[in-house]
């Protein structure tokens, strides 16, 4: 995998407030993560043999808290960027992930969507990984948007579904029912088998592919 350009880690467009909150969020994640009991379930086999293609990491919005540490623990050799929204919340996420060595592409389906899509496409074509929260930034919860499937079909990148399950957690009354693992909780990290998407799918085949990948990513501890 090529080296991540140094300029990709520079967050010069972020406000001082976003930087401060991002620093605090990263510190909190690191503090909590020191207490977690980590369990890796590498069904993709990528920690033993990394794929020679770029990957699209996908995971649900309400499980994002432990993801930065999971990345540093298990896949820090992979370089790339995460899609964040163009909102203030997205700026905070961008500032937070920068502390873990990850860049950010700003935009969403509602704001700067076309520019963000082209940015992600560029990262993949340059050989880097990207990370997408496919039900973010505002849901609906556990709904995989079409962008992931489109990007994989256009670039031959592999989709890596990541499931994070917390044995002990607080659940917030937000739109996504955000989950915060409690200190000393077991955190199960599942790298599901990588998925590829054929190019030039017709509409029906595309929707079936989207539903198939969504089902893989759906949490196994909830019925919703």
Q: How many CB atoms lie within 10 A of CB 146?
A: 13
pLDDT in the model for residue 112: 64
Cβ–Cβ under 8 Å, residues 22 and 98:
yes
Residue 55: exposure state from Cβ atoms within 10 A (0-12, 13-18, ≥19): buried
pLDDT of residue 224: 44
pLDDT at 131: 95
Domain assignments of the chain as residue spans, ordered by start: 15-213
pLDDT at position 29: 97
> 199 with 145: CB under 8 angstroms?
no
Spans of the chain, pLDDT less than 50 = 6-7, 9-10, 223-224
The per-residue pLDDT for 171 is 97
Task: Identify the pLDDT of residue 2.
Answer: 57
For residue 86, the model assigns a pLDDT of 80
pTM: 0.90
Q: What is the pLDDT of residue 48?
A: 94
Among 16, 172, 18, which residue's Cα sits nearest to residue 106? 18
For strands 103-106 and 37-42, give the pairing.
Answer: unpaired
Would you state the pLDDT for residue 10? 47
The pLDDT assigned to 146 comes to 93
């Amino acid at each position: 995998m090529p080296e991540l350009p140094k300029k990709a880690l520079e967050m010069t467009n972020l406000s001082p407030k976003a930087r401060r909150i991002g620093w605090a969020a990263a510190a909190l994640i690191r503090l909590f993560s020191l207490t977690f009991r980590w369990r890796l379930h590498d069904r993709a086999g990528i920690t033993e043999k990394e794929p020679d293609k770029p990957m699209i990491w996908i995971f649900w919005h309400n499980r994002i808290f432990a993801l930065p540490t999971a990345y540093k623990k298990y896949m820090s050799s992979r370089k790339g960027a995460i899609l964040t929204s163009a909102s203030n919340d997205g700026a905070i996420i961008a500032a937070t992930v920068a502390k873990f060595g990850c860049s950010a592409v700003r935009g969403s389906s509602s704001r700067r969507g076309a520019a963000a899509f082209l940015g992600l496409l560029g990262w993949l074509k340059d050989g880097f990984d990207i990370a997408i929260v496919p039900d973010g930034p505002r849901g609906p919860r556990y709904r995989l948007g079409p962008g992931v499937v489109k990007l994989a079909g256009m670039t031959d990148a592999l989709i890596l579904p990541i499931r994070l399950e917390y044995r002990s957690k607080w659940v917030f009354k937000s739109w996504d029912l955000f989950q915060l693992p409690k200190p000393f909780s077991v955190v199960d990290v599942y790298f599901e088998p990588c998925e590829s998407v054929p190019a030039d799918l017709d509409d029906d085949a595309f929707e079936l592919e989207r539903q198939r990948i969504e089902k893989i990513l759906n949490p196994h501890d909830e019925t919703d």
